[in-house]
Amino acid sequence: MTKQIKQSTIYSLILVALVGLVWWLATGNNSAALSDSAAASAYSASALTTTDSNYDFQTISMAAGKVEHDYILKNDGAEPLRIDKALTSCMCTEALITDAKGKQYGPFGMPGHSSSGKSNIIVNPGDEVIVKAIFDPAAHGPSGVGMAQRSIYLETNSAQSPKLELRFQAMVTN
């Protein structure tokens, strides 16, 4: 009987040690997660600027396929800035974002029809990012003929300008 008690005691101690180890690791990860979320909620004094927030494709044909336009955005501030989300106003529009190092993010689309839009793109002071708008004039079929006006929405951690809208329009023909 003493051999069974010794084995039970050893197994119990091992189990307690494992539970303690798991608890310790979980507590350490939670504090790291809290510090990450605190850092993620920090605002930047910088803002993204562009000289080209409205673009006109003029007259385009459905038959010619998709059209694209690049918007160049710059962090003119002294602090890094983060693009948290990128969304579009319609499923006929996609957005791709290329950072200063050439890394491409996306495609981003309309809420509920594509990804969540979460991007977490860091734009350092003085750096530029390219937001490529891709518009498919045939996405709405024959009823899509006429003036089309669409937008790309960016949400950032900028304290002065947290949201940015990039617009375009096109006269769509068959």
What is the topology classification, in CATH, of domain 48-173?
A: Immunoglobulin-like (2.60.40)
Would you state the pLDDT for residue 25?
A: 54
Are 156 and 144 in contact, with CB atoms under 8 Å apart? no
β-bridge mates for residue 158, sequence order = 44
pTM, whole model, 2 decimals? 0.76
Per-domain residue ranges of the chain: 1-41, 48-173
Would you state the pLDDT for residue 6?
A: 72
Are 68 and 106 in contact, with CB atoms under 8 Å apart? no
Would you state the pLDDT for residue 30?
A: 41
Would you state the pLDDT for residue 12?
A: 65
Would you state the pLDDT for residue 7?
A: 72
Q: How far apart are CA 153 and CA 134, in angstroms?
A: 14
Would you state the pLDDT for residue 95?
A: 98
Q: How far is CA 118 from CA 86, 90, 169, in A?
A: 7, 17, 25
To the nearest whole number, what is the mean pLDDT of the chain?
86
Would you state the pLDDT for residue 36?
A: 36
Would you state the pLDDT for residue 17?
A: 61
Q: How far is CA 80 from CA 74, 86, 104, 125, 128, in A?
A: 11, 18, 18, 5, 12
Residues of the chain with pLDDT under 50: 28-40
